[in-house]
Amino acid sequence: MAENLTFRYKISGDDFTRAGEASSNVKSKLKQMGVDNNAIRKVAIAMYEGEINMVIHANGGTITVEISSDNIHLVLADTGPGIADIEKAMREGYSTAPEEVRSLGFGAGMGLPNMKKYSDNMTIESVVGVGTTVTMDIHL
């Protein structure tokens, strides 16, 4: 790729059934570009978990995807309630998701741990009452 490609997605916060559309879109684009399947899977999982988190906790947000020849950089920004204890939130099984979300098969406290597991680098910046920004890199 000669130059970096950037895609921006607005994630709606009120429609849980549509969560995943942005991730699917990115997945298709990466496939068309001939990106390695393993890297596509990592991006799809990490981004989908982030997308779901935004819908469950933050009433939506924006996701920016920057694709360069050797890296995929994801920035997930929301203006939700923020994460009070990031260390706790990173623990597998810890969840603050409401019951209705759990009944749909989510909210098992796997979101952030999965994002960390499937990205090569992840940082979380969060201020309670202001919002959360998660950045992730998946190397190609």
Partner 1 sequence: MTIQTLIDSGLFRSVVAGSTDKQIEKIFCCDLLSIAMSKAPEHGAWVTVMGNRNTLAVASLTDISCIILAEGVSFTEEDLECAREENIAVFTTPLPIFDAALAVHNLL
Contacting residues toward partner 1, per CB under 8 A: 16-21, 23-24, 27, 37, 41, 44-45, 48-49, 52, 104-111, 114, 117-118
Query: Least distance from C-beta 1 to partner 1, angstroms?
Result: 23
Query: Least distance from C-beta 62 to partner 1, angstroms?
Result: 19
Task: Give me the residue label for tokens 């999965």.
Answer: 114
Return the number of the residue (52 or 77) whose C-beta is nearest partner 1: 52
Point out which residues pair with 139 in neighbouring strands. 71
Query: Least distance from C-beta 6 to partner 1, angstroms?
Result: 21
Residue 72 burial by Cβ neighbours in a 10 Å radius (0-12, 13-18, 19+): buried
| Residue 47 near residue 23 (C-beta atoms within 8 A) | yes
